[in-house]
Homo-oligomer: A and B are copies of this chain.
């Protein structure tokens, strides 16, 4: 069951300049940044608000690091803008299977790694009225005292 708008994914040519725009214009700060080699992108996550399912809504700024990454091709065609939207669920495996069973094309056979240890999949935009749609389960919060927590 999808319980929140998890994030809006925004493709950009320059991650630092775009993050600076969001900070200077609105006061939104970068909470986390990482490289996703598999997706071929650098990402910055800006936390906007908490949500009533106990999680949060984010802006995800995405800059390609390779000419052949899907985001690089998208930017070459469309220019900067909203690349995808993401809904959050407690169980991406069950929800993506249920969505697949409705005849929507799910782009990954199994969910893959997303930002901040999340697990994600994507739905084909042509099956979603033109919207590239991500389904995401956030990583569990680290237990108190967990040495891997941050």
Contact = CB atoms under 8 A, between A and B. Distances in A.
Task: Label chain A's interface by main secondary structure.
Answer: mixed
Contacts of A52: 49-52
B57 A25 contact: no
Contacts of A50: 51-52
Interface residues of A, number: 37
B8 A79 contact: no
B18 A57 contact: no
Nearest to A80: B130
A129 B2 contact: no
Interface in A6-34: 8, 10, 12, 18, 21, 24-28
A81 interface: yes
B49 A125 contact: no
Q: List the 3 closest A-B pairs by CB distance, nearest first.
A: A80-B130, A50-B52, A81-B130
